[in-house]
Amino acid sequence: MKLVFLSILILGVILIITFGIYFPKEPGSQIEKVFSIREGKRGKEIAENLKDEGLIKNALLFRLYVITIGKSDKLQAGDYIFSPSMTISQIAKKIISGEVIKEKITIIEGWNLRDIGFYFENKGLFMAEELWELVGFPLVDYSKVTDIPRPKDFSTEFDFLADRPKNLGFEGYLFPDTYEIKKGTSLEEIIRKILQNFDKKLTPELREEIKKQQKTIFEIIIIASLIEKEVKTFEDKELVSGILWKRLKNNIPLQVDATISYITGKRTIKISKEETEIDSPYNTYKYLGLSLGPVSNPGLESIIAATSPKDSDFWYYISTPEGKTIFSKTLEDHNLAKAKYLK
């Protein structure tokens, strides 16, 4: 009789424990709470805090569960979203795997380091200057300055940076995309994640094509950065790519308005004659060849267009305020197009 009673008692305890671990405090609850775990917090304190926040019924059962599965030392710090509709096992597994709240950041195609810096600042993530100190200030040629710290050298981690001049920052290489980051992630970790994405997007096939054309990745990124700022459709990008490479080959100034806008920081397609005379190595009106470096961070489509220039009889183009590209074969036609569309 005692044995039967003991068996029933044990079974009852097992059922209570199982029910407590695998059945939520408030089934169907729509309540969600941010629950924070600071570094160094132990299982007992985490369990008590979960109970105090109304997320679990029993702190002891939480501790028992993580000990039983051998994960009591694997509880990760961070900010989590929990609900009373979640079971102890579900909550514990999220903490063990580190499924913390993630922040989404989106770098838009064509943004430059100024844009990204102010974006981070406006989101309350980092000050713009923190970004520029890490990846380089816009327009700065570090071979000509001594009072600004050089950006971090990521070239030992990423071979696509091998031909990037060390006197420049990372303009052009912060790949436009949406990134999920854990709260508290360092700026350096975020930049490394962005560069890893660039590394992935620059496929072996693309790298082989660049090599086949006897160009460098850096040259391709400069052209892609110009294309990104100048035209919208892939077809137009390929045509503009053809024009730019053709002008370079024939020692004709590129005369890309985007390089002037990069220097002045103005968001306009109207460039004055005075601005085209600004003395800057980024000024493709004043100096032959490529700008000193990229003027934006191009998307994959622009990078592909830079590697697949389309032959044409065109030597000139303009972009209208509506985003349409007008191509011209002669300077006379080009001037007429400017007079017509850029009043």
Taking only the tens of pLDDT, the chain with its 343 residues reads 555 444 544 544 454 566 567 788 888 888 888 888 888 888 889 989 999 999 988 888 889 888 888 888 889 888 888 999 998 889 899 889 888 888 889 999 999 999 999 999 999 899 999 999 999 999 999 999 888 889 999 988 999 999 999 999 999 999 999 999 887 789 999 999 999 999 999 999 999 999 999 999 999 999 999 999 999 999 999 999 999 999 999 999 999 999 999 999 988 777 888 999 999 999 999 999 999 999 999 999 999 999 999 999 999 998 888 888 988 999 998 989 888 888 7
Decide: 81 and 99 in contact? Cβ < 8 Å: no
pTM for the model? 0.81
Nearest CA to 136 out of 117, 108, 157 is that of: 117
Give me the numbers of helices (H) and strands (E) for the chain, helices first please: 13, 6
Phi and psi based region of residue 288 (left: phi greater than 0; alpha: psi -120 to 50; beta: remaining): beta
Q: What one-letter code names the amino acid at 298?
A: P
Decide: 61 and 20 in contact? Cβ < 8 Å: yes
Place of tokens 């040629």: 141
Question: Using CA atoms, how far apart are residues 244 and 224, in angstroms rounded to an integer?
Answer: 10
Nearest CA to 212 out of 220, 224, 222 is that of: 220
Nearest CA to 157 out of 143, 172, 173 is that of: 173
| CATH 3.30.1490.480 domain extents, the chain | 22-100
For the segment(s) 22-100, the CATH number from 3.30.1490.480, 3.40.50.970, 3.40.630.10, 3.40.50.720 is 3.30.1490.480
